[in-house]
Amino acid sequence: MFKRWAIVVGIGAFACFVVALAALSLRLETVSSSSTPPGQEAAVAHLPKTIVQLEDDRRIRPVRDPISVADDPALDSLSVEELIDILGSKDNKATRNAANKLETMPAEAVPALIERLSGTFTKGDRFNKLRWWCVNTLGNIKDKRATEVLVKCAALDGDPHTRWRSIWALNVIRDERRIALLKEHLKSEDEIERFNAATALSTMDIADGVKVIEEATKSNDTWLRWQAVSALGKKIRSPETLPLLITCLKDPLDSIRQEAAMSLGRLKDIEAAPALVEALSDKKSGVRWRAARSLGQLGAKNAIPDLIKLLDDSDGSVRGQTAVALGELGCKDRDVAKKVIKMLSDPDRDVRSKAAIAIGRIGTSDDIQALNEALKIEKENRVRRKLERSLRALKTQRAALTAPIPVNWGCSPTMRAA
């Protein structure tokens, strides 16, 4: 019985193998017969056998294997279109090499890059990398012919990375037309388009879009609200900016409260301190450590007692960032220094790293021995470097305190009188 069963299984397995082999053969024939579109035989004759096909709505263009392009001196033999294709490849080294090559030939590259950005504008996420690199290359070339398409990308591109790179490129190229073109998008009926244009203008010290950004903090779109809260408190603000961000500190969404705490620190307005002190008791640790960080940035010395309480927080990120904030505020409490030194042996590397920064500001020469002990057992190079920096600071502090005070007898009133 067992032998019969084994024979049946063997026959079945062999049949499956034959079917799979036939399917594979058919697939190979299909690929070989369609890999080169009509009329492109001459264009691909010089390419290696391994090709990558990037699908476009207009055609399927054969492209050199990006791995072979990375170190290939034959890069010079590629057309501008083929170089742009490589900008969207998965091989980052090949992408950088192709971008560098395009930057050396601006006369041919700029029109082609503009055309490719325009042609892939509504093609979806699969073109995001290619579009980002097209924008980046245009920014490095700094050609004003790219201004219009970059404004369009800044206001309408669906990928936030491409939008922000477009804003960077516009600010690098500095074509005066960019401001007027962006202001046209402020008139759009689309909420997101208006917001994107306003954000771009805010990076150019143009206040026209501040109201649009502030309105976006009340949007029903969560992602848009988060972006608006993040954008506020940078270069441009209005009298309503501070109250709006303080209101956002009480938002039901954790992500909005966290970003509001960060933006309040960037405002550099000490009036935000009371709201941030209140946020130190937020249920979300991400809000607590961001509020502590912002209080340090604001120089809110009145918040020191509230921050000291957070050194016993259950979350390591909160303890670490609080220690840094206390150092920035010039806290020299010995009990605080002892707690920070204890943090140098925390299992969490980030906590130790933050404590290593803070102790150089909070500690005194009495803590030098403790830092030497911490250095003996610390294995992480990043933490060790910060410990060494703090150790040097405390030794310098000790040397300044113990150095004899020079007496300038020549300027002494007593000597002059004598």
DSSP calls for 108-163: HHHHHHHHHHHHTTTS-GGGHHHHHHHHHHHHHHT-GGGHHHHHHHHHH-S-HHHH
Backbone angles phi, psi at 363, to 5 degrees: -75, 175
- Rounded average pLDDT over 223-246: 86
Asked if residue 160 belongs to a domain, the reply is yes
Which sign, positive or negative, has the C-alpha torsion 406, 408, 413, 415? positive
Q: What are phi and psi of 315, to 5 degrees?
A: -95, 125
pLDDT for 412 beyond 90: no
**CA angle 228-232-237, nearest 5°?**
135
Instruction: Look at the block and give the residue holding tokens 């504008």.
Output: 121
Please indicate, yes or no, if residue 170 is contained in any of the structural domains: yes
Q: Which among 203, 204, 172, 182 has a CA at the least distance from the CA of 103? A: 172
Which pLDDT score is estimated for 402?
A: 72
Confidence (pTM): 0.68
Mean pLDDT of 37-64: 35
Q: Which pair of structure tokens corresponds to residue 326?
A: 């206390």
The verdict on residue 70 lying in a domain is yes
Confidence (pLDDT) at 405: 63
In a domain, 112, yes or no: yes
* Residue 6: predicted pLDDT: 52
Site of tokens 């404004």 = 151
User: Among 85, 194, 195, 174, which Cα is nearest to 131's?
Assistant: 85
Q: Which residue did the predictor score with more confidence, 239 or 338?
A: 338
351-364: average pLDDT: 94
Task: List the structure tokens of 222.
Answer: 């969560």
Number of structural domains found in the chain: 1
Domain that holds residue 146: 44-175
What's the mean pLDDT when you consider all of the chain? 83
Residue 4 maps to a domain: no
Does 417 have pLDDT greater than 70? no
Q: Which helix (H) or strand (E) holds 321?
A: helix 316-328
Confidence label for 46 from pLDDT (cuts 50, 70 and 90)? very low
Residue 379 lies in a domain: no
Q: What's the pLDDT at 112?
A: 97
Residue 66 lies in a domain: yes
Within 10 Å of residue 389's Cβ, how many Cβ atoms?
Answer: 12
Tens of pLDDT along 381-403? 999 999 999 999 999 887 777 76
Distance (Å, whole) CA 19 – CA 398: 82
What's the confidence (pLDDT) of residue 206? 86
Please report which confidence band the pLDDT of residue 232 belongs to, taking 50, 70 and 90 as the band edges: confident
The rounded distance, in Å, linking the Cα atoms of 347 and 339 is: 15
Model confidence at 37, pLDDT cuts 50, 70, 90, reads very low
Q: What is the pLDDT of residues 209-218, one digit of tens each?
A: 888 999 899 8
